[in-house]
């Protein structure tokens, strides 16, 4: 076994070589999903940032392309976004061949080293060949720094309600919302976030309207990544839900109440989903909110035990806004295209027991996806425990604890922990402000170095990575000695190129 065979994910995007962090510039156009990413092509740790590029027809199989943006005299190319300027509002293209416009942050390293605070500015570039090659706008930067050290990660979207462009970017603990008619001239509308949510350094925001599932109601969602300050230290994704009148975003009163009770609401309870944002230009006929995150954590990303490349993206996911008992929550699930990549599914017989159950016992199948309905009659005792294991007794353990009302994950026996004190040894419990479940619907997606678990139709999710010294060989479940029932067990193997 070498690094490639043991650790290179089968169906999560990784760069062929060297360092990657945030997904950037996500847009869809003419049948192709584009994904750029923070990339340092000359080393396996963070360095002078470029935008790498990958494309996909189905959000599952990715193909790496040429580097899209290189650093220049204005700075490194930090995170940002891209839109298809269909009406050619920027004038960079034509109506027949609309420009793709990317907006990103320049990080001026010498200025930072010289002790200045205004080293981050916002800039644009455009592509006239569907995102493969780019020209930087000669009038950059388009937004100068107002004297704030953290001032970055512009996320642009078309505001179809007000017929203009909206952009949001992050400062240390606030979010700045801007508007523009041409993607070049920007007016600040609002600073949002004072005193709200989890603090740390806010980065990579995303701001968009969503229809509440099954209704005609629209609410606005603000995803706000932050690092440090995540749920278990390091990086994490929180979000806010409210209304936007074209100028001002205000929290929904119910969400304000939620925040009084629980400080922050998280999109993912695991430690390895960060800098996640959504695709632009998804056709109305599709209508999905499609999301992808960086599957790592700044606490240890630069020292994980892969040398040739570092880090992967999460699965692409569909976000939904759900209202339940007067609470708004963003649900996430793997994109439905994952189903088109399944080569084999077996159904396991339902079981009722208090012993540990091996999933797929005796079946010749690779465990890429497991769906289970899990019921525990004696709910007050119950802990739902999943164990991923290999032949040398290394384990990744996770589940839900009805007594503590917490989702948990435990990597303390998960193979190689030597590279960082924070990886296996930090607290493994994540508080969730949820219910007691006597039934848990679980979708688990496994790759060589990650698990992504989606509970109860995506109401809660957890994404974590691990580095075992031998491949995974199985999955088992138990309920801490209590009787439980498993039904509707479906185990699938994926096919990938
Ligand atoms: C988030 C982040 C962004 C920044 C980029 C630099 O992971 O710190 O705020 O633009 O990474 O690579």
What is the tens place of the pLDDT at every residue in 290-339? 999 999 999 999 999 999 999 999 999 999 999 998 999 999 999 999 99
Active-site annotation, residues: 22
Calculate what percentage of the chain has a pLDDT beyond 90: 89
Identify the three-state secondary structure at position 456.
helix
Among 417, 391, 314, which Cα is nearest to 1's?
Answer: 391
Residue 413's contacts (CB-CB under 8 Å, 6 or more residues apart) are 393, 394, 395, 396, 397, 424
Domain boundaries 3-334, CATH class: mainly beta
- Region 485-492: what's the mean pLDDT? 96
Give dist(CA 450, CA 263) in Å, integer.
28
Q: 408 near 429, Cβ under 8 Å?
A: yes
The predicted model gives 353-378 an average pLDDT of 91
**Residue whose CA is closest, atom 6 of ligand 1?**
78
Residue-level pLDDT at 429: 74
CB 474 within 8 A of CB 358: yes
| pLDDT of 394 above 90 | yes
Q: How does pLDDT run across 46-80, given as a tens digit for each residue?
A: 999 999 999 999 999 999 999 999 999 999 999 99
> Considering the chain, what is the average pLDDT of its residues?
95
Cα distances from 222 to residues 22, 225, 233, in angstroms, run 18, 10, 21
Instruction: Flag whether pLDDT at 379 surpasses 90.
Output: no
Other C-beta atoms closer than 10 Å to the C-beta of 325 total 6
Q: What is the residue extent of each domain of the chain?
A: 3-334, 338-494
Residue 86, CA distances (Å) to 83, 163, 415 in order? 9, 12, 50
CA 79 / ligand 1 centre spacing (Å):
6
% of the chain exceeding 70 in pLDDT:
98
Of ligand 1's listed atoms, the one at least distance from the Cα of 49 is: 12
Q: Which atom of ligand 1 is nearest to the CA of 294?
A: 7
Q: What distance in Å separates the CA atoms of residue 446 and residue 450, rounded to the nearest whole number? A: 6
Would you state the pLDDT for residue 380?
A: 74
| pLDDT on residue 404 | 84
Cα of 153 to ligand 1 centre, how many Å?
7
Q: What number of other Cβ atoms are within 10 A of residue 386's Cβ?
A: 22
H/E element holding 117? none
CA of 261 to the centre of ligand 1 (A): 30
Q: Is the pLDDT of residue 82 over 80?
A: yes
Rounded distance, CA 468 to CA 452, Å?
16
Q: C-alpha distances in angstroms, 46 versus 9, 339, 475?
A: 20, 34, 34
Ligand 1 atom closest to 203 (CA): 9
Question: What mean pLDDT comes out for the span 285-290?
Answer: 97
CATH number of the 338-494 domain: 2.60.120.560
Residue-level pLDDT at 161 = 87
Give buried/exposed letters for 37-47 (b at 16+ CB in 10 A, else e).
bbbbeeebebe
Q: Are strands 76-84 and 472-478 parallel, antiparallel or unpaired?
A: unpaired
Given the structure tokens 């603990």, which residue do they identify? Answer: 173
φ/ψ (deg, to 5) at 310: -135, 120
Angle (CA) 15-316-402 rounded to 5° is 120
Burial class of residue 214 (count of CB atoms within 10 Å of its CB; 0-12, 13-18, 19+):
exposed
Q: Could you identify the residue written with the tokens 């999943």?
A: 386
**What average pLDDT does this structure show over 117-145?**
98
Closest CA to 255 of 194, 192, 197: 197
Residue closest via CA to ligand 1's atom 8 equals: 203
In the structure, what pLDDT confidence band is assigned to residue 431 with cuts at 50, 70 and 90? confident
Q: What is the pLDDT of residue 433?
A: 66
Note whether 157 and 279 are within 8 A (CB): no
3-class SS of residue 184:
coil
pLDDT value of residue 438: 83
- Measured from the Cβ of residue 448, the count of other Cβ atoms closer than 10 Å reads 19
Binding-site residues, ligand 1, Cβ < 6 A: 21-22, 38, 49, 78-79, 105, 152-153, 203-204, 275
Q: Can you tell me whether residue 301 is helix, strand or coil?
A: helix
Pocket test for ligand 1, best of 19, 36, 38 (most atoms within 8 A of CB): 38
Residue 251 Cα to ligand 1 middle (Å): 26
């Amino acid at each position: 076994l070498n690094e490639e065979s043991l650790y290179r994910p089968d169906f999560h995007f990784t760069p062929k070589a060297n360092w990657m962090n945030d997904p950037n510039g996500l847009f869809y156009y003419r049948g192709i999903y584009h994904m750029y990413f923070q990339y340092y092509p000359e080393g396996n740790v963070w360095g002078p940032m470029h935008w790498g590029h990958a494309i996909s027809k189905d959000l599952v199989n990715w193909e790496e392309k040429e580097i899209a943006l290189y650093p220049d005299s204005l700075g490194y190319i930090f995170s940002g976004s891209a839109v298809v300027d269909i009406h050619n509002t920027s004038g960079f293209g034509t109506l027949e061949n609309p420009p793709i416009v990317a907006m990103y942050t320049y990080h001026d390293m010498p200025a930072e080293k010289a002790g200045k605070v205004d080293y981050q500015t916002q800039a644009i570039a455009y592509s006239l060949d569907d995102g493969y090659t780019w020209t930087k706008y000669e009038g950059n930067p388009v937004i100068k720094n107002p004297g704030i050290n953290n001032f970055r990660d512009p996320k642009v979207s078309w505001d179809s309600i007000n017929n203009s462009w909206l952009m949001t970017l992050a400062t240390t603990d606030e979010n700045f919302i801007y508007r523009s008619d041409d993607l070049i001239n920007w007016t600040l509308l609002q600073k949002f976030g004072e005193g709200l949510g989890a603090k740390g350094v806010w980065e990579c925001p995303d701001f968009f309207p969503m229809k509440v599932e099954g209704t005609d109601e629209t609410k606005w969602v603000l995803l706000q990544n932050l690092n440090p300050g995540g749920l278990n230290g390091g990086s994490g994704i929180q979000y806010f839900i409210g209304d936007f009148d074209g100028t001002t975003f205000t929290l929904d009163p119910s969400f304000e109440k939620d925040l009084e009770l629980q400080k922050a609401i998280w999109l993912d309870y695991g430690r390895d989903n960060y800098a996640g944002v959504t695709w632009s230009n998804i056709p109305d006929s599709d209508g999905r909110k499609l999301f992808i995150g960086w599957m790592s954590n700044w606490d240890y990303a630069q020292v994980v035990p892969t040398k040739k490349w570092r880090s992967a993206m999460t699965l692409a996911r569909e976000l939904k806004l759900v209202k339940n008992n007067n609470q708004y929550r963003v649900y996430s699930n793997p994109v439905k295209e994952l189903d088109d990549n399944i080569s084999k599914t077996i159904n396991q017989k339902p079981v009722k027991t208090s012993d540990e159950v091996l999933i797929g016992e005796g079946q010749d199948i690779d465990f890429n996806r497991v769906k289970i309905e899990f019921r525990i009659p004696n709910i007050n005792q119950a802990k739902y425990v999943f164990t991923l294991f290999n032949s040398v007794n290394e384990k990744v353990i996770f589940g839900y604890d009805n007594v503590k009302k917490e989702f948990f994950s435990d990597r303390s026996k998960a193979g190689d922990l030597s590279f960082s004190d924070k990886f296996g040894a930090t607290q493994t419990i994540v508080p969730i402000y949820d219910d007691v479940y006597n039934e848990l619907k679980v979708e688990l997606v496994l790759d060589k170095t990650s698990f992504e678990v989606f509970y109860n139709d995506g109401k809660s999710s957890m994404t974590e990575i691990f580095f075992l010294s031998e491949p995974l060989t199985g999955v088992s479940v138990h309920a801490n000695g209590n009787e439980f029932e498993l039904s509707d067990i479906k185990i699938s193997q994926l096919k990938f190129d």
